[in-house]
A and B are shown apart, each in its own frame.
Chain A
Amino acid sequence: MSSSKAVVILCLLALPAWAAGPNLGVPVSPNDIKAWDIDIAPNGDGLPPGRGNAIQGADLYAQACRSCHGKTGQAGAADELVGGVGSLATPDAERTAGSFWPYAPKLFDYIRRAMPWDHPGSLSNDQVYAVTAWILAQNGIIAPDTVMDSDRLPKVRMPNRGGFFVEPRDRY
């Protein structure tokens, strides 16, 4: 083997692992990904500034949510948000946001990313906190005047928090 060939091979070996591709990813600053970086962790990481309670949320719910989810969060055409707490082990189990969801911050996550269905992203952070508070209060999980914000929402313990398990074969 010629020495020049050996140098080429050594250079190839020294390249980082991502040399497997053409390396065409374009770096982007943390500031420039904010509009897309919308997920909220189950422990509340990512929750934005803002606040709201169920009293404020009631009006908003009536305007933006009631037509699909029903006047009280029950018996609407879309998913039930309210009721069924304690029902999961009975034959008439009702899986609602109140009875089934394990993490309160994920209510904020889902409402902000996907609701209202025809205008997702149209609510301000204050409004999302308020509607989240309304759903929690309507389920009896918090009081109607309890303010939800990035500090208090992660501390809300959902009734079915301990209701999930992962089988060994699904553990990673």
Chain B
Amino acid sequence: MTDQSDRRINRRSVLAGGTAALLPLTVKADPLVVPDWSRVPGARLTPYGQPSPREALTTRSVAPLFGDIAPGIEAAFTPLERLEGVITPNGLHFARTHGGVPDIDPSQHRLLVHGKVGRNLTFSMEALARYPLVTRTCFIECSGNSFQHSLSQPRQMELGLTHGLFSTAEWTGVPLSILLEEAQIDPSATWLLAEGADSDAMSRSLPVAKAVKDCFVALYQNGERLRPEQGYPIRLIVPGWQGNLHIKWLRRLKAMDGPSHTRDETSRYSLLMSDGTAREFPFEMPVKSLIARPSYGQTLPGSGRYEISGLAWTGSGRIDGVEISIDGGKSWVSTRLDATPQEYIPVRFRYSWTWNGRPTILQSRARDTQGNLQPSHAQWKALYHPTQRFHCNAIQSWSIDEEGEIENVFL
């Protein structure tokens, strides 16, 4: 068998010359053999298919945010650097809990709609499943996603740990407009309080205008019933808005004539500006893009042709374009998008890049149809208080050294 390391050195030296992708005729692939797995019948099928054990590294990182004192306050980060396309597998969808994952019996769970309505109504889960359903693909991004990116010094960690409180799924559920109409919502009701059945009773205020425009009570995620970590049996979907608004384990919607100013919308998910005032209800998640490949933890084995690939999304309109820089921001070029951008659906961008083997910095920046452009790290920091951690959509920069090692840097 040919020695692996010899072959790689040989290949690198050729690619460094700049003639991409042509291997010298002296390098030959090993002779093909029929392996053992083709010689005997394989394993039996299982009722619920699982990923290959050989992909065991494709998991979420789970962080207990308060250690042992409150073990159910956690964040699970989607491994964005290991995934392709835009849909997140259900078991890898990010999650953030404030009071653990409740074990809800759907036959006993109810959704209550009350407050400024003509009649208070409860809905069983069985009843909700009989309503006209809508299906929509949309991202959910935790308002605290990318908090590591808001610090003054860059952290060296995989993309998923820095930006992985972000996932995308196809959700199916009952439009809020139908349920609110059935309860005869009062015209004076301009806000809803949405509340979960977890021990924290997570609650957020949601404008009725958004609720009836495109929000729904989801029962299904990527075709199957919601998983407990995602709100089983029902969660709220508020397309494009702060992840925290997508109340899991939804039990209550109360119609009100103003916002409730809950603890999470004032003290948590408001934005502290550089002057010490705080912007409340910054609902839409700002335009963002990330290069997933290459990114920290991966190594370029040598100069040559690589595909740069990443994700872009916005809570304001649609993605209007994604550019990348292969020279640390001196120049920008357009990327190829996998699909025509649609509202609330992230888009995968790609760019075919030939690395000359010299140190450089890769960046991506997205703009949306509302005219928002992703800011540089310095621009974002200048807007907010130094302690502000949430809603960070600053450009991510990957520095590549001559060995092909990748480092997170701030520009």
Measured between beta carbons, the chain A residues less than 8 angstroms from B299 are none
**Nearest-CB distance from B194 to chain A (Å)?**
11
Picked from A17, A24, A67, A91, the residue with its CB within 8 Å of the CB of B131 is A24
Is residue B155 contacting chain A, with contact meaning CB distance below 8 A?
no
Q: What interface size band does chain A fall in?
A: 35 or more
A97 to B131, CA, bound (A): 42
Is residue A50 contacting chain B, with contact meaning CB distance below 8 A?
no
Measured between beta carbons, the chain A residues less than 8 angstroms from B263 are 101, 106, 109-110, 114
Contact A17 B279 (CB under 8 A): no
Is residue A75 contacting chain B, with contact meaning CB distance below 8 A?
no
- Nearest opposing residue in chain A for B73, CB measure: A117
Is residue A39 contacting chain B, with contact meaning CB distance below 8 A?
yes
Is residue A1 contacting chain B, with contact meaning CB distance below 8 A?
no
Contact B251 A27 (CB under 8 A): no
Picked from A17, A29, A117, the residue with its CB within 8 Å of the CB of B99 is A117
Contact B267 A97 (CB under 8 A): yes
**Nearest-CB distance from B52 to chain A (Å)?**
39
- Nearest opposing residue in chain B for A42, CB measure: B261
A2 to B312, CA, bound (A): 56
Is residue A23 contacting chain B, with contact meaning CB distance below 8 A?
yes
**Nearest-CB distance from A153 to chain B (Å)?**
14
Contact B275 A36 (CB under 8 A): no
Is residue A93 contacting chain B, with contact meaning CB distance below 8 A?
yes
Could you tell me which residues of chain B, from 253 to 269, have a CB within 8 Å of some CB in chain A?
254, 256, 258, 260-263, 266-267
Contact B251 A36 (CB under 8 A): yes
Is residue B181 contacting chain A, with contact meaning CB distance below 8 A?
yes
A89 to B131, CA, bound (A): 50
Among the 9-residue stretches A125-133, A134-142, A160-168, the one with 4 or more Cβ atoms under 8 Å from chain B is A160-168
Q: A28-B120, A28-B121 are in contact. Are A106 and B261 (CB under 8 A)?
A: yes
- Per-residue 0/1 for A34-59: is the Cβ within 8 Å of any B Cβ (1 yes, 0 no)? 00111101100000000000000000
Contact A117 B266 (CB under 8 A): no
Contact A39 B182 (CB under 8 A): no
- Nearest opposing residue in chain A for B316, CB measure: A169
A88 to B270, CA, bound (A): 13
**Nearest-CB distance from B283 to chain A (Å)?**
6
Measured between beta carbons, the chain A residues less than 8 angstroms from B178 are 18, 20-21
Is residue B200 contacting chain A, with contact meaning CB distance below 8 A?
yes
Is residue A26 contacting chain B, with contact meaning CB distance below 8 A?
yes
Q: What interface size band does chain B fall in?
A: 35 or more
Is residue B386 contacting chain A, with contact meaning CB distance below 8 A?
yes
A68 to B276, CA, bound (A): 27
Q: A39-B195, A88-B272, A166-B279 are in contact. Are A113 and B200 (CB under 8 A)?
A: yes
Is residue B179 contacting chain A, with contact meaning CB distance below 8 A?
yes
A163 to B273, CA, bound (A): 10
Contact A89 B275 (CB under 8 A): yes
Measured between beta carbons, the chain B residues less than 8 angstroms from A78 are 66, 69-70
Is residue B282 contacting chain A, with contact meaning CB distance below 8 A?
yes
Measured between beta carbons, the chain B residues less than 8 angstroms from A103 are 261, 266
A77 to B386, CA, bound (A): 22
Could you tell me which residues of chain A, from 1 to 16, have a CB within 8 Å of some CB in chain B?
16
Is residue A61 contacting chain B, with contact meaning CB distance below 8 A?
no
- Nearest opposing residue in chain A for B200, CB measure: A114
Is residue B353 contacting chain A, with contact meaning CB distance below 8 A?
no
A29 to B200, CA, bound (A): 25
Measured between beta carbons, the chain B residues less than 8 angstroms from A88 are 272, 276-278, 385
Picked from A23, A36, A100, A163, the residue with its CB within 8 Å of the CB of B182 is A23
- Nearest opposing residue in chain B for A25, CB measure: B121
Contact B66 A165 (CB under 8 A): no
Is residue B326 contacting chain A, with contact meaning CB distance below 8 A?
no
Is residue B24 contacting chain A, with contact meaning CB distance below 8 A?
no
Picked from A37, A110, A164, the residue with its CB within 8 Å of the CB of B270 is A164
- Per-residue 0/1 for A87-107: is the Cβ within 8 Å of any B Cβ (1 yes, 0 no)? 011110101010011110010
Contact A27 B119 (CB under 8 A): yes
**Nearest-CB distance from B197 to chain A (Å)?**
9
Contact A89 B276 (CB under 8 A): yes
**Nearest-CB distance from B347 to chain A (Å)?**
23
Contact B127 A113 (CB under 8 A): no
Measured between beta carbons, the chain B residues less than 8 angstroms from A26 are 121-124, 127
Measured between beta carbons, the chain B residues less than 8 angstroms from A91 are 386
A23 to B182, CA, bound (A): 7
Chain B CB within 10 Å — which of A28, A106, A117, A166 has the most? A117
Q: A21-B174, A26-B124 are in contact. List 6 more A-B contacts (CB 8 A).
A: A21-B132, A25-B119, A29-B120, A114-B99, A164-B277, A167-B279
Give the top 4 A-B pairs by smallest Cβ distance, nearest first.
A89-B276, A25-B121, A172-B207, A24-B127
Interchain Cβ contacts under 8 Å between A and B, 6 examples = A16-B181, A18-B178, A21-B178, A30-B120, A102-B266, A118-B70
Chain A positions within 8 Å of B, measured between CB atoms, are 16-18, 20-30, 33, 36-39, 41-42, 67-68, 77-78, 88-91, 93, 95, 97, 100-103, 106, 109-110, 113-114, 117-118, 120, 160, 163-167, 169-170, 172
